[in-house]
């Protein structure tokens, strides 16, 4: 048994990065050690033998390994090809050590000679001295920096490396930094560095030095201490996982204190008070047992406090008071101006360099909310005038002092100012309550699983807002690529899907959904975006998001993909019927009929594929030759005999004539029309009715007739069958069900 | 006269609660002088932050070691509040420390500076919160933190990675203390104008600066002549170009600072549209980068 402990100590790491970094460290160690033959937790399957830990000032990993040394290792070297002749082989053998064995081995490029030689046993310490420097040098952080004492790049200056095997320090050097013998505790509370002699000793001594190394344990400690305080003051428990996680990433020894606010601030309302406390001070706003906001808040300090943390509480209270007074002041001034005046200030606020100001954005938004696509799709009364007004003022609060100070209150403030304008009869007022709600809600959802707007106008405004962003950024070529998505367009697209599929208000108004492609086309108008965006980029991008969404919600990957391949899904991109389509098809392929048809489809596809190989021989286009063509064209070329007709006169046998009845043009057209109307039930009925004739066909008709004209006609008939089925889904992508 | 005695009394009652504004500055300066910093004088031009002082913007470039501390009056025309807001000023003071190369114990040095003004880490909660910094007009980038003491932001702490568009090598550490805020905390005062500026003579911050805040707010927001500012900006830019031709780095840099300030005034005046803004910033940055080139070339 061997125990490995690594700690990389640095100056304060942003809380959002700590845990992921520690995990990456553990994974990298595991990977590199496994490659060298060590039985790491991943290799042995004992995941709990590997532990990643992090604090604000360190990331670390500990591991238990069954052996400290790897014996019987071999090294391999590739020599010449067997075709290279005796001379090459001789030269190769000459270059080898005496004990090396030479073997022949088949590779992708042909048969080669390989030399296999024994290697000396590898000690864990030796392996680490080699592995750890390369891990540290190549470690990836979301942002990293240089500093004078080292040639490394790290999130903040790396100040210490501790690497212990069974409690003994391994000596190594990385980028000018030597490994330490001592570990250091809390920056302020602990004075003397110490020498840990095992992982458990390290944990214990760290605790004595006021550092809790496990993030989860620090969260638990915050919850426990917070619970004591809220109990004592008859308050509700804290419930803000995001802030809890951040707090645990900001303190090595979290200590919770209670601060008090002047009751007069409660008039600001809970949204503002908690936002000010949270974003500026990382403090938890509190509620009383009945759920009403209470004039208290929790502070998470770092380290053990003196005198009950008097100075810390007083300081935080004073800052909170100043911040909230600022808020009162800002709100007073913003209200004096009113939303109309504020909206005038939007000209000065950029949406994006190349996409104009927020004023331009508001103008576009107002127009887009009056979209034909939306109005046509609405099943009830479309809230035209409410939307026009809310779009006009939706962004006005961005010019307010309150939002300049607290950006996350965007929307919320607009709603409040709309209401107060109404009361005073001032600018922006006079409208109904719905407008204020729509303004307040239109940034929702603010997180992936965040709450959606409740009001109809709010949901519609939220949808249009995102669609405008997609159209704008697409029009200037700023589509997300790979891991880069600087304008969070994927998130915007996911929000659009959630709005269309989950928002109750939306589903009520649009029970048959919205054609997102048409809405995108309207959103694109003011940007004069190219046709290409509408035909290619947007459908591909949105289809990918929809695919993610549906599989994320438990729909089978293969069926989702198969449906997304159909022309109808790609052209309308209406998520409501697409979802219905997927779930109907999912049930269908589980039925006997469905299974049989799937088998038949695969058989047809096989026959057609054979046919293509034979007919086109070597002259076939390779995929890469076609890469410049649009996707749909590419697909057509890839499908043999696609959309080819068959001749009724050449159909000899009754079984093939029967099958042909289902595949005549008017029937296929009817099917297409049904799909266009999203009548998936009827489409599947058609599919089901195919089963008997298809079975009969295969039981009684020989495709490979000696008469080449008849044979080709049969092939064409089958191609028609495949094409008809492909209208519903690309069955080649669907796996057979158990 | 009666008024004055009253003030003297206020100052006195606050005595012992913390350092006066001027004593705070002196203490910090002494502390950093003891760490080997040259106490440089403030730059005699209108600039937005201590970073723009050539003692940072230019001296932090190149290889030569450099350590300096200085107070820099800073102007942010759009932040004026007519002397009415207890926390916001269009003219305020920064204490700037620049250490090149940044020493390995720079955080500890900083903590000790807080202790020197009475903020002992054992009694207070001092935290380093992620705050990556970018100064687009100066083509500058850095990683670091805002430092909080009991929830109050008291300093910016930055490892410069780039200045005037050039990579910093070696990397400098920049520490900027917001003096008014720090003093308000040390003195336990809620309104900046109530700060004790000095005990003898008994002066408050308001005595010295309230009138200026009021008048400059009027000037910045409504009086400054937009057309003149536009032509000033263009003049400064042209002059800088001409000086760059003559390879006079420092005079050219002065013109670049002027242009930057005129831009800030135009902005406060509401004369910079959203689409024009990046262009102004780019023009200033471009000048700063060329100044740096000539500065480094000697």
For the stretch B47-96, pLDDT in tens is 999 999 999 999 999 999 999 999 999 999 988 989 988 888 999 999 99
A373 against A423, higher pLDDT = A373
As a whole number, the mean pLDDT across chain B is 91
Lowest mean pLDDT across A509-513, A550-554, A645-649: A645-649
Rounded to whole angstroms, the Cα distance separating B249 from A12 reads 37
Q: B190 CB near a chain A CB, below 8 Å?
A: yes
What integer pLDDT is reported at residue A637 of this predicted model? 59
Rounded to whole angstroms, the Cα distance separating A274 from A314 reads 19
CB A106: neighbour CB atoms within 10 A?
A: 9
CATH of domain B225-297: 1.20.58.180
Rounded to whole angstroms, the Cα distance separating B125 from B139 reads 34
Rounded to whole angstroms, the Cα distance separating A17 from B257 reads 37
**A566-585 average pLDDT score:** 89
Are the C-beta atoms of residues A468 and A459 closer than 8 Å to each other?
Answer: no
| Interface contact flag, A145 B152, Cβ < 8 Å | no
Determine which of A9, A12, A298, A303 to mutate to test the interface with B (most B C-beta atoms within 10 Å): A12
Q: How far is CA A50 from CA A42, A180, A195, in A?
A: 9, 22, 22
**B18-44 average pLDDT score:** 97
| Interface contact flag, A188 B151, Cβ < 8 Å | no
| Interface contact flag, B126 A188, Cβ < 8 Å | yes
Q: Which of A554, A553, A563, A552 is nearest to A588 (CA)?
A: A563
A203 against A431, higher pLDDT = A203
What integer pLDDT is reported at residue A572 of this predicted model? 83
Tokens found for residue B261: 């300030």
Determine which of A18, A148, A155, A350 to mutate to test the interface with B (most B C-beta atoms within 10 Å): A148
What are the domain boundaries of chain A?
Answer: 2-70+123-208, 75-118, 215-305, 342-554, 587-733
Determine which of B84, B107, B130 to mutate to test the interface with A (most A C-beta atoms within 10 Å): B130
Q: Give yes or no on whether B2-219 and B225-297 have one common fold.
A: no
Q: How far is CA B209 from CA A322, B87, B192, in A?
A: 20, 13, 10
| Interface contact flag, A358 B274, Cβ < 8 Å | yes
What integer pLDDT is reported at residue A309 of this predicted model? 93
As a whole number, the mean pLDDT across chain A is 90
Q: Chain A contacts of B274, Cβ < 8 Å? A: 347-351, 356-358
**B131-139 average pLDDT score:** 90
What integer pLDDT is reported at residue B270 of this predicted model? 82
Are the C-beta atoms of residues B32 and B113 closer than 8 Å to each other?
Answer: yes
Start-end of H helices in B35-139: 54-57, 106-116
The SS3 call for residue B247 is coil
CA of residue A178 relative to chain centroid, distance? 38
Facing residue for A301 by CB, picked from B111, B125, B132: B125
Residues listed for chain B: 298
**How many CA atoms within 13 Å lie on the side-chain side of B290?**
20
**Highest mean pLDDT of the ranges A186-200, A615-629, B170-184:** B170-184
What integer pLDDT is reported at residue A567 of this predicted model? 76
Looking at the complex, report in whole angstroms how far the Cα of residue B2 sits from the nearest Cα belonging to chain A: 31
Rounded to whole angstroms, the Cα distance separating A145 from B170 reads 12
- Percentage of chain A lying above the pLDDT 70 cut: 94
pLDDT band at A625 (very low <50, low <70, confident <90, very high): low
Facing residue for B274 by CB, picked from A283, A322, A348: A348
Looking at the complex, report in whole angstroms how far the Cα of residue A411 sits from the nearest Cα belonging to chain B: 21
Measured between CA atoms, the residue of chain A closest to residue B191 is A322
Tokens found for residue A417: 């100012």
Residue A632 has pLDDT above 90, yes or no: no
Residue B107 has pLDDT above 80, yes or no: yes
CATH of domain A587-733: 1.10.730
CB B294: neighbour CB atoms within 10 A?
A: 17
**Which is it for strands A173-174 and A110-118: parallel, antiparallel or unpaired?**
unpaired
B74 against B189, higher pLDDT = B74
Predicted confidence (pLDDT) per residue in A127-181, tens digit: 999 999 999 999 999 999 999 999 999 999 999 999 999 999 999 999 999 999 9
What integer pLDDT is reported at residue A425 of this predicted model? 54
**A504-532 average pLDDT score:** 93
Q: B130 CB near a chain A CB, below 8 Å?
A: yes
Q: B170 CB near a chain A CB, below 8 Å?
A: yes
CA of residue B154 relative to chain centroid, distance? 13
| Interface contact flag, B151 A303, Cβ < 8 Å | no
What integer pLDDT is reported at residue A426 of this predicted model? 52
Looking at the complex, report in whole angstroms how far the Cα of residue A453 sits from the nearest Cα belonging to chain B: 30
Rounded to whole angstroms, the Cα distance separating A622 from A624 reads 5
**A655-670 average pLDDT score:** 90
Looking at the complex, report in whole angstroms how far the Cα of residue B135 sits from the nearest Cα belonging to chain A: 16
Q: Chain B contacts of A321, Cβ < 8 Å? A: 190
Rounded to whole angstroms, the Cα distance separating B88 from B197 reads 17
Are the C-beta atoms of residues A221 and A301 closer than 8 Å to each other?
Answer: no
| Interface contact flag, B111 A156, Cβ < 8 Å | no
Predicted confidence (pLDDT) per residue in A326-367, tens digit: 888 889 989 999 999 999 989 888 888 789 889 999 999 999
Residues 6+ apart with CB under 8 A from A231: none
**A590-597 average pLDDT score:** 90
Tokens found for residue A357: 């100001």
Residue A199 has pLDDT above 90, yes or no: yes
| Interface contact flag, B125 A302, Cβ < 8 Å | yes
pLDDT band at A627 (very low <50, low <70, confident <90, very high): low
| Interface contact flag, A250 B107, Cβ < 8 Å | no
| Interface contact flag, A315 B169, Cβ < 8 Å | no
Of 3.40.50.620, 3.40.50.300, 3.30.930.10, 3.40.50.2000, which CATH number belongs to B2-219? 3.30.930.10
What are the domain boundaries of chain B?
Answer: 2-219, 225-297
Give kind and range of the element (H or E) at residue A285.
Answer: strand A284-287
Facing residue for B143 by CB, picked from A148, A156, A349: A156
Q: B109 CB near a chain A CB, below 8 Å?
A: no
Q: Chain B contacts of A141, Cβ < 8 Å? A: none
Q: Chain B contacts of A312, Cβ < 8 Å? A: 124-125, 150-151
Looking up tokens 């990389």 gives A8
Q: Chain B contacts of A306, Cβ < 8 Å? A: 122-123
| Interface contact flag, B150 A319, Cβ < 8 Å | yes
Are the C-beta atoms of residues A376 and A519 closer than 8 Å to each other?
Answer: no
Give the fold, CATH level 3, of A342-554.
Hypothetical protein af1432 (1.10.3210)
pLDDT band at B41 (very low <50, low <70, confident <90, very high): very high
| Interface contact flag, A326 B85, Cβ < 8 Å | yes
**A380-394 average pLDDT score:** 94
**Which is it for strands B38-39 and B66-75: parallel, antiparallel or unpaired?**
parallel
pLDDT band at A96 (very low <50, low <70, confident <90, very high): confident
Rounded to whole angstroms, the Cα distance separating A66 from A81 reads 40
Residue A86 has pLDDT above 90, yes or no: no
pLDDT band at B2 (very low <50, low <70, confident <90, very high): very low
A60 backbone dihedrals φ, ψ, rounded to 5°? -155, 170
What integer pLDDT is reported at residue A407 of this predicted model? 86
**A395-423 average pLDDT score:** 88
Rounded to whole angstroms, the Cα distance separating A1 from A49 reads 11
Rounded to whole angstroms, the Cα distance separating A374 from A368 reads 9
Rounded to whole angstroms, the Cα distance separating A648 from A363 reads 59
| Interface contact flag, B125 A14, Cβ < 8 Å | no
| Interface contact flag, B127 A326, Cβ < 8 Å | no
Rounded to whole angstroms, the Cα distance separating A421 from A316 reads 33
**A546-568 average pLDDT score:** 92
pLDDT band at A608 (very low <50, low <70, confident <90, very high): confident
| Interface contact flag, A306 B122, Cβ < 8 Å | yes
Residue A649 has pLDDT above 80, yes or no: yes
Residues 6+ apart with CB under 8 A from B285: B136, B137, B138, B139, B165
Residue B7 has pLDDT above 50, yes or no: no
CA of residue A376 relative to chain centroid, distance? 32
**A462-480 average pLDDT score:** 95
Tokens found for residue A481: 């690529």
Residue A609 has pLDDT above 90, yes or no: no
Rounded to whole angstroms, the Cα distance separating A10 from A156 reads 6
Tokens found for residue B168: 């910093």
Give kind and range of the element (H or E) at residue B43.
Answer: none
């Amino acid at each position: 048994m061997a125990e490995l402990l690594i700690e990389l100590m640095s100056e304060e790491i942003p809380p959002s990065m700590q845990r992921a970094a520690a995990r990456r460290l553990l994974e990298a160690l595991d990977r590199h050690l496994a490659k060298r033959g060590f039985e790491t937790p991943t290799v042995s399957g004992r995941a709990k033998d590997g532990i990643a830990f992090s604090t604000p000032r360190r990331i670390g990993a500990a591991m238990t390994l069954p052996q400290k040394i790897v014996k019987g290792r071999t090294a391999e070297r590739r020599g010449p090809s067997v075709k290279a002749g005796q001379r090459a082989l001789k030269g190769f053998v000459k270059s080898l050590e005496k004990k090396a064995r030479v073997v022949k081995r088949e590779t992708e490029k042909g048969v080669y000679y390989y030399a296999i030689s024994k290697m000396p046993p590898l000690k864990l310490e030796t392996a680490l001295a080699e592995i750890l420097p390369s891990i540290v040098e190549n470690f990836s952080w979301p942002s990293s920096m240089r500093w004078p004492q080292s040639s490394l790049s790290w999130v903040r200056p790396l100040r210490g490396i501790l690497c212990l095997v069974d409690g003994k320090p391994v000596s190594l050097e990385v980028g000018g930094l030597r490994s330490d013998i001592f570990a250091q505790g809390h920056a302020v509370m602990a004075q003397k560095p110490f020498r840990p002699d095992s992982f458990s000793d390290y944990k214990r001594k760290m605790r004595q030095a006021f550092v809790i190394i496990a993030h989860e344990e620090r969260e638990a400690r915050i919850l426990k201490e917070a619970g004591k305080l809220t109990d004592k003051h008859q308050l509700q428990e804290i419930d803000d996982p995001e802030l809890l996680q951040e707090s645990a990433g900001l303190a090595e020894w979290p200590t919770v204190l209670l601060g008090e606010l002047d009751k007069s601030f409660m008039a600001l309302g809970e949204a503002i008070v908690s936002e000010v406390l949270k974003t500026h001070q990382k403090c938890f706003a509190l509620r009383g047992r009945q759920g009403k906001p209470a004039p208290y808040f929790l502070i998470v300090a770092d380290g053990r406090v003196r005198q009950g943390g008097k100075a810390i509480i007083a300081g935080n209270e004073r800052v909170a008071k100043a911040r909230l007074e600022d808020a009162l002041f800002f709100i007073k001034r913003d209200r004096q101006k009113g939303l109309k005046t504020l909206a005038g200030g939007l000209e000065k606020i950029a949406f994006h360099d190349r996409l104009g100001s927020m004023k331009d954005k508001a103008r576009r938004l107002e127009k887009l909310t009056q979209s034909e696509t939306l109005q046509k799709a609405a099943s009830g009364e479309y809230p035209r005038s409410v939307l026009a007004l809310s779009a006009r003022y939706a962004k006005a609060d961005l010019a307010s002092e309150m939002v300049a100070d607290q950006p996350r209150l965007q929307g919320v403030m607009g709603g409040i100012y709309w209401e107060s304008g109404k009361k005073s009869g001032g600018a922006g007022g006079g409208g109904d309550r719905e407008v204020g709600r729509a303004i307040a809600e239109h940034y929702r959802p603010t997180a992936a699983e965040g709450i959606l707007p409740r009001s109809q106008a709010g949901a519609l405004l939220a949808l249009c807002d995102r669609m405008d962003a997609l159209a704008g950024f697409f029009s200037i070529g700023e589509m997300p690529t790979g891991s880069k998505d600087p304008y969070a367009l994927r998130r915007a697209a996911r929000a659009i899907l959630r709005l269309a599929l989950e928002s109750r208000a939306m589903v009520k108004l649009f029970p048959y959904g919205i054609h997102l492609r048409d809405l995108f086309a309207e959103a694109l108008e003011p940007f004069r975006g190219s046709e290409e965006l509408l035909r290619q980029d947007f459908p591909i991008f949105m289809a990918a998001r929809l695919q993610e969404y549906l599989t994320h919600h438990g729909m089978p990957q293969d069926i989702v993909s198969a449906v997304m391949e159909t022309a109808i899904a790609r052209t309308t991109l209406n998520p409501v019927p697409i979802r219905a389509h997927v779930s109907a098809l999912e049930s269908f392929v589980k039925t006997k009929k469905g299974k049989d048809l799937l088998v038949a489809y695969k058989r047809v596809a096989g026959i057609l594929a054979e046919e293509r190989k034979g007919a086109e021989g070597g002259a076939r286009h390779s995929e890469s030759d076609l890469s410049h063509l649009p996707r749909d064209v590419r697909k057509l070329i890839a499908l043999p005999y696609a959309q080819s007709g068959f001749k009724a006169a050449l159909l000899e046998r009754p079984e093939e004539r029967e099958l042909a009845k289902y595949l005549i043009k008017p029937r296929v057209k009817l099917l297409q029309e049904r799909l266009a109307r999203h009548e998936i039930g009827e489409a599947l009925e058609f599919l089901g009715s195919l089963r008997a004739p298809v079975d009969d066909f295969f039981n009684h008709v020989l495709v490979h007739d000696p008469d080449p004209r008849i044979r080709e006609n049969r092939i064409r008939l089958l191609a028609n069958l495949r094409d008809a089925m492909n209208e519903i889904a690309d069955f080649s992508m669907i796996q057979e069900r158990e | 006269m009666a008024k004055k005695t009253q003030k003297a009394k206020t100052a006195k009652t606050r005595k012992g609660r913390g350092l006066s504004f001027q004593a705070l500055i002196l203490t910090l300066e002494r502390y950093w002088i003891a760490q080997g910093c040259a106490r440089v004088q403030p730059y005699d031009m209108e600039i937005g932050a201590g970073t723009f002082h050539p003692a940072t913007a230019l001296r932090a470039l190149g290889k030569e070691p450099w350590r300096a501390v200085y107070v820099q009056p800073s102007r942010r025309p759009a932040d004026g509040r007519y002397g009415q807001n207890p926390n916001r000023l269009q003219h305020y003071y920064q204490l700037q420390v620049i250490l090149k190369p940044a020493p390995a114990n720079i955080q500890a040095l900083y903590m000790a500076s807080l202790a020197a003004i009475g903020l002992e880490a054992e009694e207070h909660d001092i935290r380093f919160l992620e705050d990556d910094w970018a100064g687009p007009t100066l083509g500058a980038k850095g990683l670091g933190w805002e430092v909080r003491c009991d929830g109050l932001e008291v300093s910016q702490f930055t490892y410069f990675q780039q200045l005037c568009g050039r990579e910093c090598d070696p990397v400098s550490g920049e520490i900027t203390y917001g003096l008014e805020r720090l003093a308000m905390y040390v003195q336990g005062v809620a309104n900046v104008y109530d700060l004790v500026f000095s005990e003898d003579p008994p002066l408050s911050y308001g005595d010295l600066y309230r009138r200026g805040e009021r008048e400059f707010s009027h000037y910045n927001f409504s009086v400054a002549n937009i057309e003149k500012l536009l032509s000033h900006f263009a003049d400064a830019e042209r002059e800088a170009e001409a000086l760059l031709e003559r390879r006079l780095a420092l005079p050219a840099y002065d013109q670049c600072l002027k242009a930057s300030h005129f831009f800030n005034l135009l902005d406060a005046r509401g004369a910079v549209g959203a689409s024009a803004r990046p262009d102004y910033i780019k023009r200033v940055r471009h000048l700063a980068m060329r100044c740096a080139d000539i500065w480094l070339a000697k």
